[in-house]
Amino acid sequence: MSNTNYKQFTLGIEEEYMVLDPNTRELKSHEQKIVTEGQKVIKDKVKAEMHQAVVEVGTDICQNVDEAFHDVATLRKTIAGIAHQFGFSMGAAGTHPFSHWESQLITDHIRYNEIVNELQEAARSNLIFGLHVHVGMESREMANHIANSTRYFLPHIYALSTNSPFWEGRHTGYKSFRTKVFDKFPRTGIPETFDSIESYDNYIKLLVKTNCIDNAKKIWWDLRVHPFFNTVEFRICDVPMTVPETIAIAALFQGICAKIYKLRNQNLNFIQYSRALINENKWRASRYGIDGRLIDFGKEEEVNARVLIYELLDFIDDVVDPLGSRHAVNYVARMMEEGTGADRQLKVFEQTQSLSSVVDYIQSQFLSGLT
């Protein structure tokens, strides 16, 4: 429809990076030096995380995928440069291949202290690195509608992002073990639907009233209507190894939101499936990535994950040009050809039998694809 306002689907991207000792390849506390120095240059776009070996960055509100690419690329280059000054290197993967969480320091901050005090070992062991993508919405009511409908596609895009096959020195057998670590937290995973934004807000109010949470940011689902902004926040993905992968994934989330919005304007909707069914596909995506089989709930049969991802590309094809994101979406084909971050990590390990070589590869890819 020509009257669809595609400019509303802005993007905000958050990535979590690992701080590495270039000699031992272990995760290493940077004692907040990178964050402190980074804030002199990029202000509040860089933040400390719960573990001191993690750095979090976040973009400005980006009008399109090109702005997002430039912003994420600038953030990675800035952080990598500062880290180098202090004798560190940076990497992006959902888990570190062999560092153990027990040896990592927790950031001394009231919010993290509260989380660790409440969740104990579940919090201390949560040494993982994710990608969050915010897509702008015209209203929170529309955000709730779009969140309900886009749940079905979460495993498809998650499969593309898989980038954590190793955990504490072991080949886990999963393409993404990161979510297995995070599942120990409460209020995680695929959310149920809410029939209205008021129902969602009432749910939050009840949890606050009964001291389950003190604020809505402790809802850690794979997808949520943001408690403070008019955005849908996608939280299911491992942090991708490279910037082009991050932007391709962001473009998919943006495209799905725009497509569901367009259908709504035509009095149409995408069928909403139960959390229990979508969880079956999430597990398959975490285990096998893009090389497994997902369930096509309409056909009620297993289908090659790659086939469903290409069907997803067809589904959003009519909105990617108005969004200006076709080049970013087209990168998905390269990801399917070269493999996900997990596939590439496993290939390096198969060739070298060395997890240190895997870390070297992760480091080498941090600024890959920026020219």
pLDDT of residue 337: 97
Contacts of 77 (CB under 8 A, 6+ apart): 367, 370
- Collapse the DSSP code of 228 into the 3-class scheme (helix H, G, I; strand E, B; otherwise coil) and give the result: coil
Q: How many residues in total does the chain contain?
A: 371
Does residue 368 fall inside a structural domain? no
Cβ distance 342 to 164 under 8 Å?
yes
Q: For residue 147, what are the domain limits?
A: 6-353
Segments of the chain scoring below 50 in pLDDT: 1-2
Sign, CA dihedral 265-269-270-275, equals: positive
Cα–Cα nearest to 348, from 331, 365, 332, 335: 365
DSSP assignment string, 197-223: HHHHHHHHHHHHHTTS-SSGGG-EESE
pLDDT of residue 1: 41
Does residue 311 fall inside a structural domain? yes
Query: What is the pairing mode between strands 188-189 and 301-304?
Result: unpaired
Query: What is the pairing mode between strands 301-304 and 89-91?
Result: unpaired
Does residue 367 fall inside a structural domain? no
CA dist 210 and 208 (Å) reads 5
DSSP assignment string, 338-349: H--HHHHHHHHH
pTM attached to this predicted model: 0.96
Does residue 38 fall inside a structural domain? yes
Convert the pLDDT of each residue in 48-73 to its tens digit.
Answer: 888 899 999 999 999 999 999 999 99
Does residue 360 fall inside a structural domain? no
Can you give the CATH number for the domain in which 329 is found?
A: 3.30.590.20
Does residue 1 fall inside a structural domain? no
**How many domains, in total, are found in the chain?**
1
DSSP assignment string, 134-200: EEE-S-HHHHHHHHHHHGGGHHHHHHHH--B-EETTEE-S-SB-HHHHHTTSSSEESPPP-SSHHHH
Cβ distance 123 to 115 under 8 Å?
yes
Does residue 170 fall inside a structural domain? yes
Convert the pLDDT of each residue in 181-236 to its tens digit.
Answer: 999 999 999 999 999 999 999 999 999 999 999 989 899 999 999 988 899 999 99
Mean pLDDT computed over every residue of the chain: 95
